[in-house]
Amino acid sequence: MGFSTRKLIVLISFFSLLVLALSACGVLSWTSAHFATPETNQELFKGVTYFRQVRPSPRMMVVHVVIIDLKKSDIKTLVTPGKPRAEYPLNARTTSQFLEEFNVQLAINGDGFTPWHSNGLHDYYPHPGDPVAPIGLAASQGKIYSQNIDSEPVLYLSPTNQAHFNTAAGKIFNAISGNIMLVEKGKISPDLKTDLPDEHNQPQPRTAVGLDKNGKKLTIVIVDGRQTGYSQGATLLELAGILLEFNVHNGMNLDGGGSSTLVVMDSEGKSKVLNSPVDNLIPGRERAIANHLGFFAKPKK
């Protein structure tokens, strides 16, 4: 019995190491494939342009930028619908699940949410389908399902694509919140010059959204992070600087870290992840989150 028990322990240890080794190889393969992808500047859909940049300074950063022309009549927006009177108005979804369920052509992660924890591969919340609530104000197609009790910054989008930060143009239609303004009136926000929590000053995966001075162009910036040899992320000040490079007049930070995800619909109607999300330190793994910001668009010519 003793010999059999020892043998079983040895076998379990061996297979555990094998699984870890295979996982590491998978991570390396993912990272290598993404790192080898060249920079790009392309039209994804009518009125939707995508840039991918590899920046070696101040550290390795892969930056994804999407510029959306809100003047195009084909462009429409959608925030994940929720249940207005529920304590937890949403069921968690990955960004890819959101895109495919609602048939939008482009989608990004949205607001921070609760409850959430991540203590390892077998101890995390939420899983897809679990009940969650966004932190800030959220509305979808005229239905407000989360109130802004902590005065988080908000992006408002009307049915005719009038876009504003922190002040709705008429009745609230689509609205999604961030956690801090990054750019205000064409300059780095004063909020970034105050004492911030340490995580804001550390390189992390980031998601931001901004508008030009006339509110006609919406710019999305996602910086990949937590992936040595591929991309290490950006601080909030660096993220604000990238927004300014793309002529953003006002912009805010959305949820980041393992939530940062950029997804588009491919030619077969399936989701395609353009960035390299990293959930539970696994490159390429999408996190199930609360709400999302999506865009309907027509195929390019």
Instruction: Write the pLDDT tens digit of every residue in 212-232.
Output: 999 999 999 999 999 999 999
Q: What is the pTM of this model?
A: 0.88
Examine the pLDDT at 71 and tell me if it is beyond 50. Answer: yes
Determine contact, residues 62/231, Cβ cutoff 8 Å.
yes
Q: What angle do CA 69, 285, 266 make, to 5 degrees?
A: 40
Q: What is the pLDDT of residue 193?
A: 75
pLDDT in tens, 88-147: 999 999 999 999 999 999 999 999 999 999 999 999 999 999 999 999 999 999 999 999
CA distance 247 to 21: 45
Query: Which residue ranges make up each domain of the chain?
Result: 46-296
CA distance 24 to 127: 23
User: Per residue in 49-61, is it b (16+ CB within 10 Å) or e — as a string?
Assistant: bbbbeebeeeebb
